[in-house]
A and B are shown apart, each in its own frame.
Chain A
């Protein structure tokens, strides 16, 4: 069966990559020159403190043993303990992840919708003013540093129109009594919407350009001429033959660009002080809380690998020409 073969191969490849990622995670944080790790934590600590820290983190053991312990811990879902608040890393990251997810989802949807609309419109009206304006705009937003877009939005939009620019909840909520579910949801959305939209704007440019390019390629294919010869009207051709074929690269692009989406999320959360995994990562960097940083890195990496895997599967499902 066509499916099984491909599935097995791809799953195998993904698992192998996961293993490489886990190992890399270990290597990066342990196999550093000297005792750079303890140096990270504090530059002015006493030798005894450093020694105690090393022992606590298990850094005094031989490397291979450390590695085994590390793998064992991972298998049990133990990502280590935060150096700052002594809680398990997972506890520190769980909440932020839940905060980031809806924001990411909205941002991705926004960027896809705008990107596809802009791309299709551009391709359809190739060479016209609409096309040029569209393409230049997309390219410009793609060139702007995401954090800068965030800053501009905060400066020119958020403050002017009274959007919240920090956190995920209004701190005054619940002071005077139990807030209703609707109020809570409303509050969440208000805090989420600007970061999500901003991230979406930062992302859409790439998609618009790819969709345009893909659509132009598709519209130049011979089967489009055949469709026209068969008597189909232009719009019908675009919808039935154009979109389906042109979207193929986009679907995989989105899955593959997940790393880029995450990168954008990190800086956007910093700009908007939105307590998601991005902000948690940056905080971990600032405080040199390296177990949390390590945990975050692992989670981010695994997510990206997962989405690459999804991309493989999607392409396989959508394009009948792809075989194992």
Chain B
């Protein structure tokens, strides 16, 4: 446990809105080891993006945070902005959705990649320029393109450039927020391959946020499934697939046609609960096909169901014999 490069402990995030307070993240905890690739999966609005934004302290002014985020054992959220800012880009970097305007449209790509280098003293002037060229080559873009503007790049190339930019200051952790959503399938595969290759080669840890399960299955060894601001289940991707211990995980995998399917929309009937009200019992209960007596009223605890595999579901606290009555878990 002490080897973990990133530890998130009981993270809570609230947003202060006009209509009230939104409890967007409700007690999220996970760990990441150096060089490990972990997926953070869930429907939109489940809090996964908010969680990784919090890891870098990129929350807006109307947000409040509780809990700890440990980088190499040190709590970087201890004093909020002051303690987390020094780690930005040098230790932890982020790749946003390339379809977004992650690049400033009126500045050249090369300048934007060099910007953090000059800021953090990683490289300057001509040296920085050289490094920019190297980074671009690393992600498969000809170095000469550094002088171009973002709108001159295709979606896939922009995403590669975003990855290059993220690597500019040699971070140890890469946070990727839906990096392949809005790209077409062919390009998606290339970007995924690039990410996996780079993280292996550079020994980077990766948190891959997405709502797309097949992608996680392809790239990550471990994954955490989030629902309504909480972690429903976390474990090795293979375990989640073969031995899901939370109905939501099982339904997620079942809802996806096949591992290479193009269908990205997860369809489980119903919709996630509102997070501006206190939820009693299990948040998934209204949509769950295995709900029983305690579910509407008692909040399930996160229990360990196997080696490095946890889940928050009452079904895991029921003695084995009763499980047989309720029907088999797992099994596609």
Contacts and interface: CB of A to CB of B under 8 A. Distances in A.
Interface of A: 221-223, 225-232, 241, 244-245, 248, 318-321
Contact of A222 (B88, B96, B107, B149): B96
A230 B88 contact: yes
Looking at A223, A225, A245, A318, which has the most chain B CB atoms within 10 Å of its CB? A223
Contacts of A319: 105-106
B149 to A, nearest CB: 5
B58 interface: yes
The 3 closest A-B pairs by CB, nearest first: A231-B88, A230-B116, A223-B104
A323 to B, nearest CB: 9
B119 A232 contact: yes
A229 B104 contact: no
B102 A223 contact: yes
A321 B149 contact: yes
Contacts of B103: 223, 226
A221 B89 contact: no
Contact of B58 (A228, A248, A318, A321): A228
Contacts of A227: 104, 115
A230 B118 CA distance: 11
B106 A226 contact: no
Contacts of B115: 227, 230, 232
Contacts of A244: 106
Contacts of A226: 94, 96, 102-103
Contacts of B94: 226, 229
B151 to A, nearest CB: 5
Given A320-B151, A321-B149, A321-B151, A231 B104 contact: no
A230 B171 CA distance: 11
A223 B101 contact: yes
A245 B149 CA distance: 14
Interface of B: 56, 58, 85, 88-90, 93-94, 96, 100-107, 115-116, 119-120, 149, 151, 165
Nearest to B162: A226
Nearest to A320: B149
Nearest to B62: A127
Given A222-B101, A231-B120, A320-B106, 9 more contacts: A223-B102, A225-B58, A228-B58, A229-B58, A229-B88, A229-B89, A230-B165, A231-B119, A318-B106
B291 to A, nearest CB: 39
Nearest to B113: A230
Contacts of A225: 58, 96
Contacts of A318: 106
A229 B174 CA distance: 12
A73 to B, nearest CB: 46
Contacts of B104: 223, 227, 241, 245
Nearest to A225: B58
A241 B90 CA distance: 21
Nearest to B100: A222
Nearest to A248: B106
Contacts, number: 59
Contacts of B100: 222
Contacts of B89: 229-231
A239 to B, nearest CB: 13
Looking at B94, B104, B107, which has the most chain A CB atoms within 10 Å of its CB? B104
Looking at A229, A245, A320, which has the most chain B CB atoms within 10 Å of its CB? A229
B116 A231 contact: yes
Contact of A245 (B90, B106, B120): B106
A65 to B, nearest CB: 53
Contacts of B90: 231
Contact of A231 (B85, B105, B106): B85
Contacts of A320: 105-106, 149, 151
Nearest to A233: B85
A221 B104 CA distance: 9
B96 A230 contact: no
Nearest to A223: B104
A219 to B, nearest CB: 11
Contacts of A248: 106
23 contacts: A222-B101, A222-B102, A223-B101, A223-B103, A223-B104, A225-B58, A226-B96, A226-B102, A227-B104, A228-B88, A229-B56, A229-B94, A230-B115, A230-B165, A231-B88, A231-B119, A241-B104, A245-B104, A320-B106, A320-B149, A320-B151, A321-B149, A321-B151
A229 B55 CA distance: 11
A262 to B, nearest CB: 30
Looking at A225, A230, A319, which has the most chain B CB atoms within 10 Å of its CB? A230
A321 B148 CA distance: 11
A27 B239 CA distance: 84
Nearest to A226: B102
Nearest to B175: A229
A33 B290 CA distance: 87
A244 B105 CA distance: 11
Contacts of A223: 101-105
A222 B53 CA distance: 13
A186 B273 CA distance: 72
Nearest to B103: A223
Nearest to A318: B106
A232 B104 CA distance: 14
A223 B96 CA distance: 10
Contacts of B96: 222, 225-226
Contacts of A231: 85, 88-90, 116, 119-120
